[in-house]
Amino acid sequence: MAYSKKVMDLYADPKNIGSLDEKDENVGTSIVGAPSCGDVIKLQIKVDENGKISEAKFKTFGCGAAIASSALITDWIKGKSIEEARAIKNRDVAEHLSLPPIKVHCSVLAEEAVNKAIKDYLLKKEKAK
């Protein structure tokens, strides 16, 4: 597998591994993928009072590309507003990591994880009103 140095570096030393308190009203959680498909990403964001993503954590079951994509996207969304985070597309991740075509679906999963975590956060806020 011809992975770029960026993928290998993120695999070897992934940032943002971990979990946030799922019950915290400022935390949004998503789980995407399926064990039977070989990829599962759990991604969590914490949004501060200014509407900015202050923390982003992930846990990933999957190949090097899945791990690197989750590590990268959590890094990118930190400090961003929800709208800015939503604007990050899978192809940005795939391009940045020079993912081989067969691994592009890993970046799709990472994008999906971010959007679902945001949705979860917004839903929580909606319910709290």
Partner 1 sequence: MASKIIYMDYQATTPCDRRVLEAMIPYFCENFGNPHSVIHVMGEQAGEAIERAREQIAELINAPDKKAIIFTSGATESNNLAIQGIARRHKGSGNKIVASAIEHPCILEACHAMKREGLNVVMLPVLENGIVDMDALKREVDGATLVSIMTVNNEIGVIQPIDEISAICREHGALFHTDVSQAVGKIKVDASKIDLMSISGHKIYGPKGVGALYVRTNPPVELEPLFFGGGQERGLRSGTLPTPLCVGLGEACSIAKQEMLSESKRLMEFKNYFVAKILDNLEKTYLNGDKERRIPGCLNFSFDGVEGEAIMLGMRDVCMSSGSACTSASLQSSYVLKAISIRENLAHSSLRIGFGRYTIWEEVEYVSSKIIEIVNRLRAMSPIWEGK
20-28, 35-43, 74-82, 84-92 -> range binding partner 1 (CB under 8 A): 35-43
Least distance in angstroms from the C-beta of 63 to partner 1? 4
What is the rounded distance in angstroms from the CA atom of residue 79 to the CA atom of residue 96?
19
106 tagged catalytic = yes
Least distance in angstroms from the C-beta of 50 to partner 1? 29
34-42, 48-56, 72-80, 121-129 -> range binding partner 1 (CB under 8 A): 34-42
Q: How many residues of this chain interact with partner 1, rule: CB under 8 A?
A: 27
Alpha helices in the chain (DSSP H): 5-12, 64-77, 82-86, 90-97, 104-128
Q: What's the token pair of residue 72?
A: 């990268």
> Does position 73 bind partner 1 by CB under 8 A?
no
30-38, 46-54, 91-99, 114-122 -> range binding partner 1 (CB under 8 A): 30-38
The residues annotated as belonging to the active site are: 37, 106
Interacting residues toward partner 1 by CB under 8 A: 1, 3, 8, 11, 14, 17, 19, 31, 35-42, 59-67, 102-103
